[in-house]
Amino acid sequence: MTDTLKLLEKRRSAPPPTMMGPGPTREELTRLLALAARVPDHGKLAPWRFIVFEGEGRDRAGALCAEVFRARNPDAGEERLAAEQGRFSRAPNVIAVVSRAAPHVKIPLWEQEMSAGAVCMALTIAAVAMGFRTAWLTEWIAYDRTFLSRLGLEEHERIAGFIHIGRVDGEIEDRVRPDVAALTRWF
């Protein structure tokens, strides 16, 4: 079996609260982003972009998250607000993959959106290959236009995923996987 197949078999999501540092260095992050960008992209549109949250940027994003959550949920308790404040600090690094899909004369939106999803998957696989663990999440913040606008997203842009990257002690237990035979039709 090739190393690539072993890597794919090994990939599992790690709960961000179990992640610890050190996360990827700036050099490793730059390489991860370059690897993630090597995905199918009909028309060479690069219909995605990245926002990297690291260091104090995680704290600023967390403060914004708590602020928007409080405005939407004025009765929220301090414990919940603290959890929202810490949302971007659960892993050493968080990378937002932003889908920039837009109407195009030849390239359907769906193909552009799938390219952004492929970026998320390539990013998680590349990080695992470097020895890190990942979690591809969205959560409410990926759909809240106020939060997204404050992050600098344009109206047509959406979050394909927040990719949390860090290290985990020990192995991650695998989950039950789908029955591929039940999902396959041979024609």
The pLDDT, as a whole number, for residue 181 is: 95
pTM: 0.94
The pLDDT, as a whole number, for residue 160 is: 98
Binding annotation for FMN: 11-13, 38, 42, 136-138
The pLDDT, as a whole number, for residue 170 is: 84
The pLDDT, as a whole number, for residue 69 is: 98
CATH architecture designation of domain 12-54+89-169: 3-Layer(aba) Sandwich (3.40)
Binding annotation: 11-13, 38, 42, 136-138
Give me the residues of the chain with pLDDT under 50, please: none
Give the neighbor-by-neighbor strand order of the sheet with 133-137: 48-53, 93-99, 158-166, 133-137
Instruction: Look at residue 46 and give its three-state secondary structure.
Output: coil
Cα distances (angstroms) measured from residue 156 to each of 45, 59, 124, 160: 15, 26, 25, 13
The pLDDT, as a whole number, for residue 152 is: 97
Per-domain residue ranges of the chain: 12-54+89-169
Q: Which of 61, 104, 108, 106 is nearest to 86 (CA)?
A: 61
Q: Where are the beta strands (DSSP E) in the chain?
A: 48-53, 93-99, 133-137, 158-166
